[in-house]
């Protein structure tokens, strides 16, 4: 078998330096935004492929119009799916247009 590239996105931690000077309510365990981390914890144990997007209210931070999206929004939680990241972006863009 021939392989051109292997990308392994495991064992990483989110870069939190962007959030140091602004108001972000961060989960101490997952290092993701607190509301999303609590939502993920409440639904833990299920099929990660059955996850649905949580909505803009869960993605909000105390910092006005500041959202942490994509893999970084899940912090250390490994159940992130690219489809959910795309859904997050679409929801936030719809919210910001209003």
Domain of 96? 47-98
Asked if residue 32 belongs to a domain, the reply is: no
Asked if residue 18 belongs to a domain, the reply is: no
pLDDT attached to residue 40: 86
pLDDT attached to residue 12: 66
Asked if residue 80 belongs to a domain, the reply is: yes
Asked if residue 62 belongs to a domain, the reply is: yes
Asked if residue 82 belongs to a domain, the reply is: yes
Asked if residue 23 belongs to a domain, the reply is: no
Task: Kindly report whether the global pTM for this prediction surpasses the value 0.85.
Answer: no
User: In total, how many domains does the chain have?
Assistant: 1
Find the Cα–Cα–Cα–Cα dihedral 14, 49, 8, 37, rounded to 10°. Answer: 10
Asked if residue 88 belongs to a domain, the reply is: yes
pLDDT attached to residue 9: 61
Asked if residue 51 belongs to a domain, the reply is: yes
List per-block mean pLDDT (blocks of 10 residues) for the chain, which spans 98 residues. Answer: 70 76 90 90 73 87 91 86 91 92
């Amino acid at each position: 078998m021939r392989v051109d590239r292997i990308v392994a996105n495991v064992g990483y931690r989110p870069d939190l330096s962007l959030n140091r000077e602004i108001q972000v309510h961060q989960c101490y365990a997952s290092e993701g935004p607190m509301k999303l981390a609590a939502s993920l914890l409440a639904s833990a144990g299920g099929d990660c492929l059955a996850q649905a997007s949580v909505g803009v209210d869960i993605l909000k931070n105390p910092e006005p119009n500041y959202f942490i999206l994509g893999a970084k929004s899940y912090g250390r939680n490994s159940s992130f799916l690219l489809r959910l990241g795309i859904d997050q972006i679409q929801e936030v863009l719809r919210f910001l247009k209003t």
